[in-house]
Amino acid sequence: MTSVDSKKLRMAYASGGPEDGTPILLLHGWPDDASAWRSVTPFLEADCLRWIAPDLRGFGKTAFLDPATLRDGSAVAIAQDAFDLVGALGIDRFHVVGHDWGGRATYHMAAMQPERLLSASVLAIGYSPRGRFDVPSYAQSTRWWYQWFMTADAGAAAVRNDPIGFARWQWDTWGPTEWISEEAFAMAAKAFGNPDWVDITLHGYRSRWKSVPMDPDYETARRKVDATEKLSVPTLFLQGGADRCDPPEESEGLESYFTGGYERLVLPGVGHFPARESPVEVARLICRHVGACAKGALTSR
């Protein structure tokens, strides 16, 4: 990986594909890292796309430039990091693909600066209008136990005591596990050794459900997201049919929120990590989406 300094971070990222190719930004989820895309990127390169896959704030080798910066793990902060990264690389317009946390950031990017996104592809996380979190059904609240767990001080202390074990529990319970190898988890877990990983993780989830300090530098962006209900960026959404964290029924009926075209596809037998579980199909669908957007051919369905 290489790195570039943005406004707040020294951002580590991997990249590949033709230098003159159309840029496509790949934002990983939680708990994961940029290696999530390693079986997807060869197909993007074959489609002449220049891919860029950063470690998000708090992950891997990405580091804060100022030790005093508030460790804000909100999706707005991650979205702004993404814009800062491509800005530092001299990229104006680009495609973006996001999984889980990266998916929420992708939706926020589409609200914050839609004119810069050529297309959006999101894996596993359905759209929450205006970026708001409403208490879900009892069934979904049960699946989101880990979020409530972190809002309790004792739960937060447990995560600090064993962050790797906490992350592994999610891998083992969010869908089919045949795809998991010890090598793959060990590679991702290195990213969780970042000294800011626990602080970013706790802030990211606690800020959804309770009042915590937020970085004031993102207040304008937060207001923009809060004021934006419908997204104009053409969007592909890929949902694992066997996702045990955010199952398909949680992402149904969202078509009306996308004015620039929307396609939702459910991948049978796939859990919460589609890029790892079904990389060939995920890559094929992303490339198809990117091509359709280049031709202006995406419609809502």
Please report the pLDDT score of residue 296 as a whole number: 77
Residue-number span of the structural domain to which 249 is assigned: 2-295
Quick check: is 301 in a domain?
A: no
pLDDT score of 58? 98
Q: What is the pLDDT of residue 297?
A: 59
Cα–Cα distance, 169 to 34 (Å, whole number) = 19
Q: Which residues contact 155 (CB under 8 A, 6 or more apart)?
A: 148, 149
- pLDDT score, position 200: 98
Residue 7 maps to a domain: yes
Q: What pLDDT score was predicted for residue 31?
A: 98
Whether residue 139 lies inside any domain: the answer is yes
Q: Helix H segments across 113-245?
A: 138-143, 145-151, 153-161, 163-173, 182-191, 197-209, 219-226
* Residue 31 preceded by cis peptide, ω within 30: yes
What's the confidence (pLDDT) of residue 298?
61
Contacts of 247 (CB under 8 A, 6+ apart): 143
Is residue 4 within 8 A of residue 85, CB to CB? The reply is: yes
CATH code where residue 267 lies: 3.40.50.1820
- Predicted pLDDT at 118: 98
Tell me, yes or no, whether 300 lies in a domain.
no
Is there a domain that residue 240 lies in? Answer: yes
Contact 266, 239 (CB under 8 A): yes
Domain count, the chain: 1
Evaluate whether residue 195 is within a structural domain: yes
Residue 301: its pLDDT value, please? Answer: 53
Give 10-residue mean pLDDT values along the chain (301 residues): 95 97 98 98 97 98 98 98 98 98 98 98 98 96 98 98 98 98 98 98 97 98 98 98 98 97 98 98 98 76 53
Any domain includes 161: yes
Q: Specify the pLDDT at position 258.
A: 98
Is 206 a member of any domain? yes
